[in-house]
Protein backbone atom coordinates (compact mmCIF):
# COMPACT_ATOMS: atom_id res chain seq x y z
CA UNK A 1 0.00 0.00 0.00
CA UNK A 2 1.53 3.32 -1.08
CA UNK A 3 2.04 6.45 0.99
CA UNK A 4 -0.80 8.29 -0.78
CA UNK A 5 -3.24 5.47 -0.06
CA UNK A 6 -2.08 5.33 3.57
CA UNK A 7 -2.51 9.11 3.93
CA UNK A 8 -6.01 8.90 2.47
CA UNK A 9 -6.91 6.04 4.82
CA UNK A 10 -5.62 8.00 7.84
CA UNK A 11 -7.58 11.08 6.73
CA UNK A 12 -10.80 9.08 6.27
CA UNK A 13 -10.50 7.27 9.60
CA UNK A 14 -9.65 10.47 11.43
CA UNK A 15 -12.62 12.28 9.93
CA UNK A 16 -14.95 9.40 10.79
CA UNK A 17 -13.77 9.14 14.39
CA UNK A 18 -13.88 12.92 14.88
CA UNK A 19 -17.51 12.97 13.69
CA UNK A 20 -18.67 10.43 16.28
CA UNK A 21 -20.60 11.56 19.34
CA UNK A 22 -19.77 8.51 21.43
CA UNK A 23 -17.16 5.77 21.65
CA UNK A 24 -19.36 2.96 20.32
CA UNK A 25 -20.12 4.97 17.18
CA UNK A 26 -16.45 5.96 16.80
CA UNK A 27 -15.28 2.33 16.92
CA UNK A 28 -17.97 1.29 14.43
CA UNK A 29 -17.00 4.07 12.02
CA UNK A 30 -13.32 3.22 12.45
CA UNK A 31 -14.04 -0.44 11.64
CA UNK A 32 -16.02 0.61 8.60
CA UNK A 33 -13.24 2.81 7.23
CA UNK A 34 -10.62 0.11 7.80
CA UNK A 35 -12.71 -2.75 6.41
CA UNK A 36 -11.39 -2.71 2.81
CA UNK A 37 -7.78 -2.73 4.01
CA UNK A 38 -8.00 -5.06 6.99
CA UNK A 39 -11.31 -7.02 6.94
CA UNK A 40 -11.61 -6.54 10.70
CA UNK A 41 -13.63 -8.80 12.94
CA UNK A 42 -13.15 -6.79 16.11
CA UNK A 43 -12.01 -3.35 17.28
CA UNK A 44 -11.56 -2.67 20.99
CA UNK A 45 -10.32 0.15 23.20
CA UNK A 46 -8.87 -0.86 26.57
CA UNK A 47 -7.77 1.52 29.30
CA UNK A 48 -6.03 0.93 32.61
CA UNK A 49 -8.21 1.12 35.72
CA UNK A 50 -6.67 0.45 39.07
CA UNK A 51 -3.17 -0.89 39.42
CA UNK A 52 -3.41 -4.12 37.46
CA UNK A 53 -6.57 -4.10 35.38
CA UNK A 54 -7.71 -3.00 31.96
CA UNK A 55 -11.27 -2.01 31.18
CA UNK A 56 -12.72 -2.77 27.76
CA UNK A 57 -14.26 0.67 27.37
CA UNK A 58 -15.55 0.01 23.87
CA UNK A 59 -15.85 -3.00 21.58
CA UNK A 60 -17.07 -3.34 18.02
CA UNK A 61 -17.32 -6.92 16.79
CA UNK A 62 -18.89 -8.93 13.98
CA UNK A 63 -19.76 -11.85 16.27
CA UNK A 64 -20.72 -12.41 19.91
CA UNK A 65 -17.73 -12.30 22.26
CA UNK A 66 -16.78 -13.24 25.80
CA UNK A 67 -14.56 -10.13 25.93
CA UNK A 68 -17.24 -7.49 25.60
CA UNK A 69 -17.65 -3.86 26.51
CA UNK A 70 -17.34 -3.28 30.24
CA UNK A 71 -15.24 -6.38 30.93
CA UNK A 72 -12.31 -5.95 33.29
CA UNK A 73 -9.23 -7.98 32.48
CA UNK A 74 -6.02 -8.48 34.42
CA UNK A 75 -3.43 -6.46 32.53
CA UNK A 76 -0.94 -9.33 32.81
CA UNK A 77 -3.22 -11.51 30.64
CA UNK A 78 -2.91 -9.02 27.75
CA UNK A 79 -0.17 -7.46 25.66
CA UNK A 80 -0.45 -4.21 27.64
CA UNK A 81 2.62 -4.77 29.89
CA UNK A 82 4.75 -5.57 26.82
CA UNK A 83 3.42 -2.45 25.09
CA UNK A 84 4.23 -0.27 28.09
CA UNK A 85 7.76 -1.68 28.22
CA UNK A 86 8.44 -1.41 24.49
CA UNK A 87 6.31 1.65 23.75
CA UNK A 88 5.43 0.02 20.43
CA UNK A 89 2.78 -2.01 18.64
CA UNK A 90 2.30 -5.60 19.73
CA UNK A 91 1.16 -8.46 17.51
CA UNK A 92 -0.51 -11.83 17.98
CA UNK A 93 2.34 -13.82 16.45
CA UNK A 94 3.89 -15.85 19.23
CA UNK A 95 1.54 -14.47 21.87
CA UNK A 96 0.62 -16.83 24.65
CA UNK A 97 -1.57 -14.34 26.50
CA UNK A 98 -4.84 -15.64 27.94
CA UNK A 99 -6.81 -13.06 25.96
CA UNK A 100 -5.22 -14.41 22.75
CA UNK A 101 -6.58 -17.85 23.59
CA UNK A 102 -10.08 -16.46 24.11
CA UNK A 103 -9.91 -14.56 20.81
CA UNK A 104 -8.66 -17.66 18.98
CA UNK A 105 -11.63 -19.62 20.35
CA UNK A 106 -13.83 -16.94 18.73
CA UNK A 107 -12.16 -17.35 15.32
CA UNK A 108 -9.84 -14.36 15.64
CA UNK A 109 -6.36 -15.57 14.77
CA UNK A 110 -4.49 -12.29 14.30
CA UNK A 111 -4.48 -9.02 16.18
CA UNK A 112 -2.40 -5.97 16.74
CA UNK A 113 -2.54 -3.62 19.71
CA UNK A 114 -1.70 0.01 19.14
CA UNK A 115 -0.59 2.31 21.96
CA UNK A 116 -2.93 5.27 22.44
CA UNK A 117 -2.30 8.13 22.11
CA UNK A 118 1.46 7.76 21.61
CA UNK A 119 4.19 5.35 22.66
CA UNK A 120 5.70 7.60 25.36
CA UNK A 121 2.36 8.26 27.07
CA UNK A 122 0.18 5.17 26.89
CA UNK A 123 -3.27 5.91 28.23
CA UNK A 124 -5.00 3.14 26.32
CA UNK A 125 -4.69 0.36 23.81
CA UNK A 126 -6.54 0.11 20.49
CA UNK A 127 -6.75 -3.51 19.36
CA UNK A 128 -7.63 -4.48 15.81
CA UNK A 129 -8.48 -8.14 15.12
CA UNK A 130 -8.84 -10.21 11.95
CA UNK A 131 -9.12 -13.82 10.82
CA UNK A 132 -6.03 -13.56 8.59
CA UNK A 133 -2.66 -11.86 8.94
CA UNK A 134 -3.43 -8.46 7.43
CA UNK A 135 -1.23 -6.48 9.83
CA UNK A 136 2.25 -7.72 8.89
CA UNK A 137 4.40 -5.06 7.24
CA UNK A 138 2.00 -2.25 8.11
CA UNK A 139 3.60 -1.06 11.33
CA UNK A 140 4.06 2.51 10.09
CA UNK A 141 0.42 2.83 9.02
CA UNK A 142 -0.86 1.29 12.26
CA UNK A 143 1.30 3.58 14.42
CA UNK A 144 0.11 6.61 12.41
CA UNK A 145 -3.48 5.46 12.88
CA UNK A 146 -3.04 5.30 16.65
CA UNK A 147 -1.61 8.81 16.73
CA UNK A 148 -4.33 10.15 14.43
CA UNK A 149 -7.40 8.80 16.22
CA UNK A 150 -6.09 8.08 19.72
CA UNK A 151 -6.79 11.43 21.31
CA UNK A 152 -10.41 11.46 20.17
CA UNK A 153 -10.98 7.85 21.25
CA UNK A 154 -9.58 8.55 24.72
CA UNK A 155 -11.71 11.69 25.00
CA UNK A 156 -14.85 9.74 24.09
CA UNK A 157 -13.87 6.96 26.50
CA UNK A 158 -13.46 9.43 29.37
CA UNK A 159 -16.99 10.68 28.67
CA UNK A 160 -18.49 7.16 28.68
CA UNK A 161 -20.59 5.86 31.56
CA UNK A 162 -18.58 2.62 31.69
CA UNK A 163 -15.30 4.43 32.21
CA UNK A 164 -16.71 6.88 34.76
CA UNK A 165 -18.39 4.04 36.73
CA UNK A 166 -15.18 1.97 36.75
CA UNK A 167 -13.21 4.91 38.13
CA UNK A 168 -15.80 5.62 40.83
CA UNK A 169 -15.37 2.12 42.31
Q: How many domains does the chain have?
A: 1
Whole-angstrom Cα distance, residue 9 to residue 155? 22
Containing structural domain, residue 123: 3-168
Q: Would you say 60 and 42 are in contact if contact means Cβ atoms under 8 Å apart?
A: yes
pLDDT at 44 over 90: yes
| pLDDT, tens digit (0-9, with 9 covering 90-100), for 46-77 | 999 988 999 999 999 999 998 899 999 999 88
Q: What is the CATH number of the domain that holds 93?
A: 3.30.450.40
CA atoms within 13 A on the CB side of 24: 7
Phi first, then psi, for residue 44 (nearest 5°) are -140, 145
Q: How many CB atoms lie within 10 A of CB 147?
A: 17
pLDDT for the residue numbered 5: 62
- Start-to-end CA span in the chain (Å): 45
pLDDT digits (tens, 9 = 90+) for 7-36: 899 999 999 999 999 999 999 999 999 998
pTM here is 0.91
Residue 119 in this model has a pLDDT that exceeds 60: no
Q: What pLDDT, in 10s, does the model give residues 85-117? A: 888 898 887 666 767 778 888 888 899 999 986
Amino acid sequence: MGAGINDTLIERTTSAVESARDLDRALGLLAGELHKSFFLRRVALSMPVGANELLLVGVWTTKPTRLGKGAKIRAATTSFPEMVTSGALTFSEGSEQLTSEVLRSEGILYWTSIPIPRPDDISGMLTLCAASNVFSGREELLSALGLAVGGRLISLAHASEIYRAANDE
